[in-house]
Amino acid sequence: MSSSPLLSRQLFYDGKPQPASSGKTFQSINPSNAAPLAEIPVASQSDVDAAIAAADRAFPSWSQTPPIARSRILQKAASLLRERNDEIARVESLDSGKAFTETSTVDVVTGADVLEYYANLVGGGGLNGETTQLREDAWVFTKKAPLGVCAGIGAWNYPIQIALWKSAPCLAAGNTMVYKPSEFTSLHAQTLAEIYLEAGLPAGVFNVIYGAGDVGGYLTSHPTIEKVSFTGQVSTGMKVAGSAAGNMKYVTMELGGKSPVIILPDADLENAVNGAMMANFYSTGQVCTNGTRVFVHASKKSAFEQRLLEKMQHVRAGPLFDEATNFGPLSSAAHLEKVTAYIRHGIETDKAKLLYGGLGKPQVSNDLENGFWVRPTVFTDCTDDMRIVKEEIFGPVMSILYYQTVEEAVKRANTTELGLAAGVFTKDLNMAHRIIDQLQAGITWVNTWGESPAEMAVGGWKNSGMGVENGRRGIEAWVKNKSTLVDMCGEVPTVFAKL
């Protein structure tokens, strides 16, 4: 166990760290060795009320600040994030268990990119409305108005990235936010609030509270909250969306997936294997868009499996800050239990053929023995009815399914209630487009997997979500429309005239 002093965190609202009145705390744990990292205060209902009140007070002035001025502040925050990349990434690794090789190159960077993107978008007229000439003496113009105080609720897999993907368009559009990170990965939130403040964000525009689902539930159902942006599991999302929609709040839901990768017989084998591995083992499989159902043409079975097995040797578990490590532990003890239960179910009940990995831990040094490690695992010859094939595991567990015809593969790929992501590997681009067109998912890739740049609007179909984040479309989720008809003819047409 590490004997490092515990990090300290506080609630953050009204432009400063604030004590919590609940008297309760929870621990943040380093998933690689189970050592406590920080004692985090739980927000009481009156703390949540106070954070929402701060956001409400800040809204009139922030929403009236010209977009170009808001843009300058957000650009500055993006620069500060980049300057402090390694320092922030270090804490993200400790908190989430992801290897520093990942957090230092992806997590902060892709968050800062989105902040810069929306700062540029609103600074460059991205909130402008439309003008429509109706007739010679009448026109319609539209305005995009901010919504008000918004709630952001984050999952634990990409902590600071999720906080930025929500707060960047929210603040750029002129809203204010109260953000609750997952209790498993809360450390980034105060740092982000401090960076926003340092960049010039007025007090109360971005606020942070901590706690578990009950705190999230109180926040998202609060009458002052105008919009809920949620990232998490389908079951939680359904509850939160139901309560928000019932109270006429705007919602964006980024939920889970069980995404298919279809590998055609003509695909570049090397590329397809690399894609399938990135789609299953990056971030130890804790990625919402993971392509966990890998459909391979039956004629390529032995070639695909052989190359995959060779490459599995390159999945390297180890100390989080070791340059060679590209595979960390799972994020929590509870999640380890869940993923292990799925692997056990795959072996014992589904009776899937275990090609690689399985139960137990990968080899790690003694000081990491207590961490939440699981082996990267591949099941092959899977069938559509297996539980490991049907349910989101959210861990490093690949299921390979063989198919004979493209029609069959597409049909089976679509046989799920989820529709987050999908992809195809082939050299035939016409065929790729035809397949992509038929796949029921909001995020699709051709001959690659996983890249999600600021410019790309992403969101799930079916039970995987509602609305999108990022891209030009993403800003629309944070504004409401006002249409005005202006008539200059000087006479109101009326039916109430003398006969």
Gap between the terminal Cα atoms of the chain: 92
Nearest residue (CB) to ligand NDP, 233 versus 274 = 233
Rule CB under 6 A: say whether 465 interacts with ligand NDP: yes
Residue 192 near residue 164 (C-beta atoms within 8 A): yes
Selected binder of ligand NDP within 17, 36, 202, 217 (CB under 6 A): 217
Residue 440 near residue 414 (C-beta atoms within 8 A): yes
Q: How many residues bind ligand NDP (CB under 6 A)?
A: 30
Pairing of strands 16-18, 11-13: antiparallel
Active-site entry in 102, 116, 226, 254: 254
Helices (H), 395-495: 406-414, 429-438, 471-475
In whole angstroms, give the CA distance from residue 71 to residue 78: 10
Nearest residue (CB) to ligand NDP, 6 versus 212 = 212
Binding mask 236-275 for ligand NDP (x = CB under 6 A): x--xx-------------xxxx------------------
Nearest residue (CB) to ligand NDP, 380 versus 464 = 464
In whole angstroms, give the CA distance from residue 100 to residue 104: 6
In whole angstroms, give the CA distance from residue 8 to residue 13: 16
What is the smallest separation between the CB atom of 254 and ligand NDP, expressed in angstroms? 3
Selected binder of ligand NDP within 288, 418, 466, 479 (CB under 6 A): 288
Rule CB under 6 A: say whether 443 interacts with ligand NDP: no
Rule CB under 6 A: say whether 420 interacts with ligand NDP: yes
In whole angstroms, give the CA distance from residue 76 to residue 187: 22
Selected binder of ligand NDP within 41, 154, 169, 395 (CB under 6 A): 154
Rule CB under 6 A: say whether 208 interacts with ligand NDP: no
Rule CB under 6 A: say whether 167 interacts with ligand NDP: no
Rule CB under 6 A: say whether 327 interacts with ligand NDP: no
Binding mask 33-72 for ligand NDP (x = CB under 6 A): ----------------------------------------
Nearest residue (CB) to ligand NDP, 62 versus 230 = 230
Selected binder of ligand NDP within 12, 156, 327, 425 (CB under 6 A): 156
* Ramachandran sector of residue 397 (left: φ over 0; alpha: ψ -120 to 50; beta: rest): beta
Question: Is 254 one of the catalytic residues?
Answer: yes
Of 192, 241, 198, which is closest to residue 220 (Cα–Cα)? 241
Q: Which stretch binds ligand NDP (CB under 6 A): 49-57, 85-93, 212-220, 303-311?
A: 212-220
Q: Which residue's structure tokens are 């929306």?
A: 118
Residue spans of beta strands (DSSP E) within 278-392: 293-297, 353-356, 377-380
Q: C-alpha dihedral over 382, 400, 393, 157, to 10 degrees?
A: 180
Tokens found for residue 2: 């590490």
Radius of gyration of the chain (CA): 24
CA distances from 265 to 290, 291, 406, 427 (A): 22, 18, 10, 9
In whole angstroms, give the CA distance from residue 375 to residue 357: 5
Selected binder of ligand NDP within 67, 148, 204, 232 (CB under 6 A): 232
Q: Which stretch binds ligand NDP (CB under 6 A): 16-24, 153-161, 264-272, 370-378?
A: 153-161
Residues that bind ligand NDP (CB under 6 A): 153-157, 180, 182-184, 212-213, 216-217, 220, 231-233, 236, 239-240, 254-257, 288, 392, 394, 420, 460, 465
Q: Which residues are catalytic?
A: 254
